[in-house]
Structure 1
Amino acid sequence: MSKQLALGLTLPESTGLESYLPASNQQAVSDLAACAGGTGEPFIYLWGAPQTGKSHLLQAATQLADQAGRSALYIPLDQATQLSPAIFDDLEQLDLICLDVVEGIAGNADWEQALFGLFNRLREREKSLLVAARCSPLNLPIRLPDLVSRLSWGLCYQLQPLNDQDKIQALTVVAARRGLPLSDETARYILRHTQRDMGSLRRLLKRLDQASLEAKRGLTIPFIKAFLEQHRSLDEAAIPPTG
C-alpha cells in the first residue's frame, strides 16, 4: 500500500498521473510510470524549475505503485528539519521510495550519509527510487562525492515547463474533470489576467468552481472578470496601511 509520512508534516494534496499534462515531458512520464509499476529503470532523477510538476509526478508514482500492488513511500525532504536521518532505516523493505526536494538535505553530513546508505541498500535489493530536485545531480551542493556519483546513476530528466498553449489545454482538462465547460478563449483570458504557474491556476479553478456553483453561472469571461476584480479588491483591503 502506498503511504505518506504520518509525522505531522504538511504534505501537498496527492495527485494522479492522469491530471499531469506531459507536453514535452512525455518520455520522463512514461519511464516514471514503468518504474512505479516495477517494470522499468529502478532509479530516476527528475529536476527542473518550480512548477514543472516534480512533486505531482512523485506523488502520482506512489499511487501507481499501489495500483500495481507495490509498497511505496513519499518523503518531502524540504521538511527534513522535522525529521531525523534515521527515517531512512529499513526503507529497503518497501518497493518504491520517492524523495522530493532532495536539495533540502544537501550539505548535511548525517543526511547525506544516510541517503547514500539507503541508495545502496535499495540497489542491493533491486528496489526502486525516484528523486526530485531543482537542479541536476552534478549541481546539487552535496559534499559526499560518493552520493553525487550515486545520484548520477540511472535515468535523469530535466522537466520542461508548459508553454501557453499547453497551459490552455491543461486548464480545459482540469476544468472538464470538475464538470466545468471552459472554452479556449476563456482559458486565454485567465492566463492573461492571473498568475500563470499551474499551481496557482489549479487553485484558481477550484475557487471559480465554488463561486460558479454558488452563483449558478458558467465560467464565462464576464463572470471570471467580476470574480477577479472582487477578490483583488478584497485582497487590497486586507493589506494593512503603512507609515
Structure 2
Amino acid sequence: MQARQLTLDVTLPDGSDFDAFHAGANGLALDSLRALARGEGERQLYLYGEPGSGKTHLLQAACHEASLWGRRAAYLPAFLLRQGGAHALEGLDQLDLVCLDGISALVGCVETETGLFNLINASRCRDTRLVLADTHAPRALSAALPDLGSRLVWGPVFQLQPLDDAGKRAVLVERARRRGFDLPGEVGEFLLRTCARDLATLMVQLERLEQASLRDQRRVTLPFARAVLGEGG
C-alpha cells in the first residue's frame, strides 16, 4: 500500500517527458535512462549535477516513459524522502521503476541509510529498475553505513552538464511552443540577459510572460516582455 500511495500522491507535471528534454552534452545519459525506463539496458543509474542541470526532469520523464510501456513507477522528490525517511522506501521494490531525487536527504542517519541500502539490494533481486539522483557525486556522500557507497555505483554514474546559452534558448522556444505561443529570439535573449540563468528561473519568467499575454490578449514581443518583467527580469 505504501508504494501505491507514493505513486499516486506525486503528480508529474506536463512537459516532463523525454521529448521535452534538450540533451546537449547529456545524450548518453538520456539514452541510457530511456532504455532503463522501458525495462531494457542498465538496472540502476546514478545522476548528479548542479541545480538546474535537468535531474528532476529526467527522473520524471523516466516515470512517464515507464507508464507508456505499462510499467509501474514511482518518483520521490527530496522533500518526501526527508519527511518519510526509511518508511518512504518501504515496498518500492515491488514496482518496476523507482526514481529517488535528492538521496543526500537519506544520508547521515543510519536508519535511512539502511533503508536505502535495503532498497538497492531488494531492487536488484526483484529486477526493479532504480534511478538515484543528487547534486553530489556518490563518492562525495559521507555515508555512515559500510558498503552503501559501493551500492550507489552498482550502475553507471552520469554527471549532467548544464546547457549553454544556445541550449537554453532552444528549451525556452520549445516550451513556449508546447504552451501554444511563439517566443521571438530577441525575447529569449532578453530573458538570458536580465534573469538568473538557471532553467528553473527562466521557466518561471516564461510562465509570467504567458500569463500576462493571455490576460492582456497580446503577443509576446520584446517591448511586452520589458513591460511585464522589467529590465531586471
TM value normalised by structure 1: 0.88
**CA 6–120 in structure 1, closer or farther in 2 if over 3 Å, else same:** closer
| Residue ranges of structure 2 left out of the alignment (5+ in a row) | none
> Aligned to 2:157, what secondary structure does the other structure show?
strand
> Which range is displaced more, 93-102 or 188-197?
188-197
Give distance in 2, aligned partners of 1:210 and 1:34.
36
Unaligned stretches of 5+ in structure 1? 233-243
Aligned to 2:221: 220
Kindly report which structure 2 residues correspond to 1:5-154, keeping only aligned pairs within 5 A, or say none.
5=6, 13=13, 15-154=16-155
Amino acid at match of 2:92: L
- How far apart are residue 4 of structure 1 and its match? 7.1
One-letter code aligned to 1:182:
L
- Which residue number corresponds to residue 193 of structure 2? 192
**1:160 CA displacement:** 0.5
- The CA distance in 1 between the partners of 2:135 and 2:208, in whole Å, is 29
Identity %: 40
Relative to structure 1, is the Cα distance of residues 165 and 230 closer, same or farther in structure 2, using a 3 angstrom cutoff?
A: closer
CA distance in 1, matches of 2:127, 2:195: 46
Q: Is the 8 A contact 2:173 2:182 kept in 1?
A: yes
Of 14-23 and 114-123, the range deviating more from structure 2: 14-23
- Mark the CA change 1:4 to 1:62 in structure 2 (over 3 Å): closer, same or farther: farther
Aligned to 1:160: 161
Alignment coverage as a number of residue pairs: 230
3-state SS, counterpart of residue 162 of structure 1 = coil
Task: Mark the CA change 1:4 to 1:40 in structure 2 (over 3 Å): closer, same or farther.
Answer: farther
Computing the radius of gyration from Cα coordinates, the structure with the larger value is 1
Paired residue secondary structure (1:145)? coil
The worse-fitting range, judged by mean Cα deviation, of 23-32 and 137-146 is 137-146
- The code of the aligned residue for 2:173 comes to T
CA apart distance, 1:74: 0.9
Contact conserved, 1:19 with 1:174, CA < 8 A, in 2? Answer: yes
Aligned pair 1:177/2:185, yes or no? no
Q: How far apart, CA to CA, are the structure 1 residues paired with 2:90 and 2:213?
A: 48
TM-score norm. by structure 2 comes to 0.91
Cα 1:37–1:7 change in 2 (3 A) is closer
Q: Show the counterpart of 2:208.
A: 207
